[in-house]
Structure 1
Amino acid sequence: MVSSDQIRTAVGIIGNAISLVLFLSPMPTFYRICKNKYVEHFSVVPYIATLLNCMLWVLYGLPFVKPNSTLIITINGAGTMIELIYIFIYLLYSDGLRRIKALLLLFIDIAFIATVAAIVLSIFKSHERRTLIVGILCIVFCIMMYASPLSIMKRVIRTKSAEYMPLYLSIAYFFNGLCWTTYSLIHLDVNLTIPNAIGLLFAIAQLLLHAIYNKSTKRQSNEGKSEVALSEVNVTH
């Protein structure tokens, strides 16, 4: 007989794998940055925000805050390392105000986590209180991270094209939200359930937009290819 703990562990492992895919999804961007040796128009803010989110969840999963949360620590620890690598690459190939801004935001991230950890560990003595305080912060920042595609969704509705909202990422966000929502419900953890359930709803909304604008996206893509082909012919002649 399979126990609920075994099911929860299996779901958590799947969630780890899907989350890792999401963390690695910006690799083409940073390959481009390394190749061109310049950050171009790319912003460091999404990676700073994701780093803060990961570090908060690592703090949440530590034994002296939320015992028996190994799978939360493993994926968010990996996410922390990956985001630090992205930020290091950004710092390496940025200059001037961009580099200063990135360093300042990185310092704010680290200082914020250190302050939260110091306050929680020194003032609150029980696991329950520590879990409550850190959990509230995790909910807030996780929802902010999940809500970040809203601007892209608005653009999809305005242009009637899902070209700039990759389907594979929407699917990955859906299964990520589904796995972690299921994981949190097996042994109810409200701090995990709330942000991941909201993330799941955002992912469903993205998939619905893909379904609604699928035909118009293909049509606009084909028109774009035709225009490129025509321009190439004109240039050749």
Structure 2
Amino acid sequence: MVDSTVLLVVRIFAAFGALALICSPFILMNQIRKQKHVGVASVIPLVMLVINSHVWMMYGYLAENYFPIFSCYVSGDIAAIAYVAVYWRYTTERSYVARVLAVTMTVFTILSIYAIVGGLGCTGQTRAEAAKTLGYIGDATAICLYAAPMEKLFQVLKHKSAIFINAHMVMASLTNNIMWLTYGILTANWIIIAPNILFVALNSSTLVLCIVFNPKTHPLHESFFAGNDDAPIEVSVELSPKAATGSKVPNLPSPEYKAMQSPLEPLRLQLDRNQI
């Protein structure tokens, strides 16, 4: 039997890990807001964070695990929706993002209906059985959430630069995984243990790629930015004005240095003559 004090400490650390994961996109969202462009950021991890947070919130409620699961993922639900709203505001690929959001809302609605119906016993399941089903669904959505960066790992290997990966989110995810793995072991909850074993390995590998292909030492080649709408915004400063198309620029003499006689030279010569 695990000591209640130890379990409480692990619960608190697991809650901090979950909140770290939930807050990790904030830095990226702030950058997007400042540059008014999503750059190379993908919407997939954000919508998966919405679904994952929503499922675990419902699981925590049905399983009566109000801390840390329910309380943390209520916050995650709200924060993830805010992140998606920021992404939608500044993306240039509205049609693609709209399709992704349509699928997300469909899944969101179906899972919500199941949680309500299952919790009321209308599916022939007890509350605990409905919670267990949502736990398995939560594992599946969590796998999709952590597998979402795989979309960018292929580009990292192709371009030899980790600029495609949000390193802050990877580190937050790894911390979160370790905390929840510990919590799952102490409570003997395999719904929590099984996926987090996979996630620790996956995020550790991703973090290694972030270190090996650090964007500061491995920037993208200039050819990537040519004709790529997803390239990060760059500000250029022109040091010389350009003439308008079709206008003629007069042939001005090129500036150069010329030796000039000192204005004191005639005075010096006059003084020399007076001394003779």
- Worse-matched range after superposition: 38-47 or 114-123: 38-47
Corresponding residue number in structure 2 for 1:85: 82
Equivalent residue letter for 2:154 = K
Supply the distance in 2 between the matched residues of 1:11 and 1:184 (Cα, whole angstroms). 10
Equivalent runs, 1:88-237 vs 2, <5 Å: 88-92=85-89, 97=95, 100-101=98-99, 104-105=102-103, 107-121=105-119, 122-210=122-210, 213=212, 219-221=217-219, 236=239
Percent identical pairs in the alignment equals 20
Q: Is the 8 A contact 1:4 1:186 kept in 2?
A: no
1:20 Cα shift?
Answer: 2.0
Supply the distance in 1 between the matched residues of 2:207 and 2:32 (Cα, whole angstroms). 30
Q: Over residues 6-42 of structure 1, what are the superposed CA-to-partner deviations in whole Å (9 max), with x where a residue is unaligned? A: 2232222222223323222222443344446666775
Supply the distance in 2 between the matched residues of 1:108 and 1:190 (Cα, whole angstroms). 28
Q: Over residues 187-216 of structure 1, what are the superposed CA-to-partner deviations in whole Å (9 max), with x where a residue is unaligned? A: 1111111222211110121234356x26x8
Considering only CA atoms, is the larger Rg found in Structure 1 or Structure 2? 2
Corresponding residue number in structure 2 for 1:61: 60
Alpha-carbon RMSD: 3.6
Corresponding residue number in structure 2 for 1:228: none
1:178 Cα shift?
Answer: 0.7
Supply the distance in 2 between the matched residues of 1:93 and 1:218 (Cα, whole angstroms). 25
Q: Is the 8 A contact 2:17 2:177 kept in 1?
A: no
Matched pairs, number: 225
1:180 Cα shift?
Answer: 0.4
**More helix per residue: 1 or 2?**
1
Q: Is the 8 A contact 2:45 2:149 kept in 1?
A: no
TM-score for the superposition, normalised by structure 2: 0.66
- Worse-matched range after superposition: 162-171 or 127-136: 162-171
Q: Runs of 5+ in structure 1 lacking a partner?
A: 225-234
Corresponding residue number in structure 2 for 1:50: 49
Partner SS for 2:12: helix
Q: Is the 8 A contact 1:162 1:210 kept in 2?
A: yes
TM-score for the superposition, normalised by structure 1: 0.76
Task: Say if 1:170 and 1:41 are closer, same or farther in 2 by CA, change over 3 A.
Answer: closer
Task: Say if 1:30 and 1:14 are closer, same or farther in 2 by CA, change over 3 A.
Answer: same
